[in-house]
């Protein structure tokens, strides 16, 4: 069975595994420095870096799975592994934010002394690392929810590390140790905010919602006005995975030859592909005879393209 086509990935799973190894190594060092300097903000940042490493690992695994060929059990392939990875990443971010928030509240009551110099230098290193990986992922993140989830992990941690630097400077200049838990709370809020868009978009895909911004009324209007189409029903549009949209529709046309109805079908497929970016469409033709009765055109295996047409937009 041939694999289901999707857009090529600009980042390979091997590259993602390399980024995972670098991030995981760094988070171990940061956690150790955070523990020795007694900085909750730095340890929280290390925790987020660990979540980053897990996010990158999940994304790498999802990229690898997405390239597996479709089979008789999974005819659309394994593209939704990336959506599941994005959902797991989002849930993991929420859990981590809750833990950080709780620990920060405990420290608000009794601020503890912190070694600000270690905080500052370690957080600066984290900013460089996370910003570099986020920049590397930025282009691919625009069209892939899986990579976008990893990208937001890295971007959020770069912002959090900046907060740690600011807290370290405040502590160094004023001795106000309460800056450490305050930054941690702000960091937790940032994590929650960044995870929501990923979570909601992943749920939308799993619920087979229309793509974000897709106008169903406009699509139906355009199809109805294609020459030869007298009516339509059962128009469905849903997202298989990031950048991969599918559609089914029943077209009602006048009673005519199969070749004539196929021209109408191909015109509808062309419009769906090029005007609405639908990669895969299945179109069924139903003819109305002079007596007003509808009947479906059923093609045999050798001419199944008379009512099924697969389009890949470029």
Predicted local distance difference test score (pLDDT) of residue 211: 81
Please state whether the predicted TM-score (pTM) of the whole model is above 0.85.
Answer: no
Report for 48-62, 142-156, 233-247: range of highest mean pLDDT: 233-247
Where do the domains of the chain lie, and which CATH numbers do they carry? 13-206 (1.20.1510.10), 216-306 (3.30.70.1350)
Q: Dihedral angle at the C-alpha atoms of 167, 169, 173, 175, nearest 10 degrees?
A: 30
**What percent of the chain stands above pLDDT 70?**
82
Query: pLDDT of 182-224, one tens digit each?
Result: 877 887 787 787 778 778 878 888 888 888 788 889 998 988 8
Locate 102 and state its tokens.
């709780």
What is the rounded distance in angstroms from the CA atom of residue 249 to the CA atom of residue 233? 6
Half-sphere exposure of 17 (CA within 13 A, CB side): 7
Query: pLDDT of 222-244, one tens digit each?
Result: 888 888 888 889 899 888 776 67
Q: Say if residues 6 and 244 touch (Cβ distance below 8 Å).
A: yes
What is the rounded distance in angstroms from the CA atom of residue 129 to the CA atom of residue 141? 18
DSSP 74: -
Predicted local distance difference test score (pLDDT) of residue 243: 66
Rounded average pLDDT over 107-119: 75
Which has more pLDDT, 83 or 247?
247
What is the rounded distance in angstroms from the CA atom of residue 204 to the CA atom of residue 209? 5
Query: Nearest 5°: phi and psi at 308?
Result: -125, 135
Q: Say if residues 36 and 272 touch (Cβ distance below 8 Å).
A: no
Query: pLDDT of 295-312, one tens digit each?
Result: 554 433 333 343 344 444
């Amino acid at each position: 069975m041939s694999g289901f086509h999707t857009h090529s990935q600009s980042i390979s799973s091997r590259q993602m595994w390399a980024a995972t190894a670098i991030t995981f190594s760094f988070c171990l060092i940061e956690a150790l420095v955070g523990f020795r300097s007694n900085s909750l903000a730095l340890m929280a940042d290390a925790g987020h870096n660990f979540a980053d490493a897990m996010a990158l690992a999940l994304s790498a695994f999802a990229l690898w799975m997405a390239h597996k060929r479709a089979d008789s059990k999974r005819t659309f392939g394994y593209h939704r592994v990336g959506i599941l990875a994005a959902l797991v990443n989002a849930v993991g971010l929420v859990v981590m934010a809750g833990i950080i928030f709780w620990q920060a509240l405990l420290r608000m009551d009794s601020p503890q002394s912190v070694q600000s110099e270690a905080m500052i230098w370690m957080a600066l290193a984290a900013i460089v690392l996370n910003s570099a990986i986020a920049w590397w992922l930025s282009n691919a993140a625009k069209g892939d929810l899986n990579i976008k989830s990893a990208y937001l992990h890295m971007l959020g941690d770069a912002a959090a590390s900046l907060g740690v630097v600011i807290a370290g400077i405040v502590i160094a200049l004023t001795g106000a140790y309460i800056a450490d838990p305050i930054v941690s709370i702000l960091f937790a809020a940032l994590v929650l905010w960044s995870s929501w868009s990923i979570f909601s978009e992943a749920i939308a895909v799993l619920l087979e919602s229309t793509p974000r911004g897709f106008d169903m009324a406009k699509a139906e209007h355009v199809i109805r006005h294609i020459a030869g189409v007298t009516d339509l029903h059962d128009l469905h549009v849903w997202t298989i995975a990031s950048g991969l949209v599918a559609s089914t529709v029943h077209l009602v046309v006048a009673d005519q030859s199969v070749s004539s109805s196929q021209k109408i079908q191909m015109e509808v497929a062309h419009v769906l592909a090029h005007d609405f970016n639908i990669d895969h469409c299945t179109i069924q033709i139903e003819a109305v005879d002079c007596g007003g009765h509808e009947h479906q055109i059923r093609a045999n295996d050798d001419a199944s393209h008379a009512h099924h047409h697969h389009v890949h937009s470029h």
